[in-house]
Structure 1
């Protein structure tokens, strides 16, 4: 029996180059000029992932441990490729989802940093979220929260999610997950409590104000209406910001413990800042309620969670691409089954489109059906 001949690295490169040339030969001059030629670091993309809550449904995972591991895989991919935001959506209004849904007010998510539930504050209507959507959001945020904050943030009063298995998984490689003695710490702003210690601190602050005024320096006094200078950074006592600086209560911030002030995560850690988590109560909120004023400038559909390869006609779906256009800065990757997306578009009139295809500029073409958590790695590796 003859031995199988293993291909050399040069042969692999030649084959890959031939495929790329074959693809480029099918492009028009305009399409060819738009191909992404810069590296991710040079492009400084602000990537947003959109994943369905059904990726941890009972039809996909067989145990809670598998659900936790699915969320962990998504979190790992997001950190590895510097994803800025993860959005969770309910794929459709099928009966199994309706039965699982439970009303969750915005206050029920209090204490879960960086988790935003889209709703109109002036409306008394409370958004309905399935238990799995809340669980997925909580797990994703848990994985980017340092140990010294987890006990005070994820408590029985703020969440019903079980984190025992999640605690056993390896930490994600983020700078603020490593050391308790670093200069920059992640923290949660907490209300002002006027006990003896705090009163003595305020008296000391007043003396500092008089000294500052004598030197001609104007300092703004701290406010107590919905704002606080005290940050929980996992220490025995709350960390107090410099006099005059306050932040809203219940917000996760990055603190410069040397200068006693709040700084941006980018200033503290560079590009490795982790991701934020947002839950879209309506499918249209994915596109109409971005976390930044600039919104998204390119949308990509990524098939995921289908047990069979889609048999839909190619003209009913976006065209596949191998690279992002050079001008793209804020891409949006939407994962899920195409029929779920079409159903969501059909029932959400706020989108103002006649079909799901109009929402997307292109799609990632997988050779075979993949799970959502696997598709996240593949799509980001190809395009981001």
Structure 2
């Protein structure tokens, strides 16, 4: 026993973060229509929109971003008279409007049929808070079959400047002793079989080796190995793993580096799949993506009180009211049995200038809610 104590060394002191967790956390929910054809015409514009959202969320330390997959049926029923098609004539025929105009939300028109808009938005949001040396592993199709065609979608994202407000920035230079990494498997040991060396059939599931962007993987000095492909924060001095909270002083929900990203395929999942055990303390609606003031005529929104102060775990839902109402109506669960419209799910509304795009509304709203 005495011998074991003699061989064990005290952990080396490391830098302490200057940032700290706020008592109020903010989650935001954005619709997949943030990159619809009316907002973005190509992959480059899509990338710039999500980049702007990612920057705003890191500046104001947003804990979570929910991407709601808006039902396509709603997008096909948009008002034809408010749609503009450049380079072609549109005939407005009351009986046959669909023949005059193609569906405005076909995936092929912007990002291809291989990746859904919601997955593309969520992936780009995650990309901007992922170190470059971990991108190929994080978005590998071996880890998630949905990522089969996602890497080519990062063509323009790789060319954008690094976000300067990530947790390790302006934080007592903790980046000198801490680094984000991913646990990787060692090479499968060779087994001698009939005078031939072949790789063992045993698959490695845990490891002490971590990819931190150097030429060689770092071997951690830990007693118990960690499951491979786990995202970890590494203490370089002690060659061990530390929690993001201990390392940076600030974390997203689910102990995420930066913000936590999740997708909601159904409207109820925005609320029911919250990473907070007690759920959100309050919900705020922000009207945006409404360029012609159509939502100003909706009576349900008049009944909402104006936002005053953020406390606890706040969920801020941004988007066009019609898209949210379509998702609410299309929800097949029994969660909203006694709710007549989507406006009844919000505690208050936050007023911003009319006609704002979603990415602009996020920055304006966060500035009002947090400061």
- Cα distance in 2 for residues equivalent to 1:51 and 1:161: 23
| 1:269 aligns to 2:248 (yes or no) | yes
- Cα distance in 1 for residues equivalent to 2:39 and 2:278: 35
Partner of 2:40: 61
| 1:164 aligns to 2:155 (yes or no) | yes
- Aligned-pair distance for 1:248? 3.0
Whether the 8 Å contact between 1:318 and 1:362 is mirrored in structure 2 is: no
Q: How many residues align?
A: 291
Query: Where does the alignment leave 5 or more consecutive residues of structure 1 unmatched?
Result: 1-40, 102-127, 197-223
Whether the 8 Å contact between 2:34 and 2:358 is mirrored in structure 1 is: yes
Partner of 1:52: 31
Change (3 A) 1:236 1:130: closer
1:251 alignment partner, one of 226, 230, 240: 230
Larger mean Cα displacement after TM superposition, 253-262 or 239-248? 239-248
Whether the 8 Å contact between 1:282 and 1:348 is mirrored in structure 2 is: yes
Change (3 A) 1:182 1:275: same
- Cα distance in 1 for residues equivalent to 2:67 and 2:246: 28
The 3-state SS of whatever aligns with 1:60 is coil
The 3-state SS of whatever aligns with 2:176 is coil
- Cα distance in 1 for residues equivalent to 2:55 and 2:67: 16
- Cα distance in 2 for residues equivalent to 1:358 and 1:302: 14
Partner of 1:373: 359
| 1:296 aligns to 2:280 (yes or no) | yes
- Cα distance in 2 for residues equivalent to 1:176 and 1:43: 17
Partner of 1:16: none
Partner of 1:139: 124
Partner of 1:185: 179
- Aligned-pair distance for 1:322? 4.3
| 1:77 aligns to 2:50 (yes or no) | no
- Aligned-pair distance for 1:130? 5.7
Whether the 8 Å contact between 2:184 and 2:209 is mirrored in structure 1 is: yes
Larger mean Cα displacement after TM superposition, 71-80 or 357-366? 357-366
Query: Where does the alignment leave 5 or more consecutive residues of structure 2 unmatched?
Result: 1-19, 77-102, 191-202, 252-256
Q: Which runs of 4+ in 1 moved over 6 A?
A: 177-181
- Cα distance in 1 for residues equivalent to 2:303 and 2:45: 32
Whether the 8 Å contact between 2:179 and 2:212 is mirrored in structure 1 is: yes
1:233 alignment partner, one of 200, 209, 212: 212
Aligned-residue CA RMSD (Å): 3.2
- Aligned-pair distance for 1:373? 0.1
1:348 alignment partner, one of 331, 355, 359: 331
Give TM-score, length-normalised by structure 2: 0.69
- Cα distance in 2 for residues equivalent to 1:151 and 1:315: 46
Partner of 1:321: 306
Partner of 2:66: 87
**Which one has a larger percent helix, Structure 1 or Structure 2?**
1
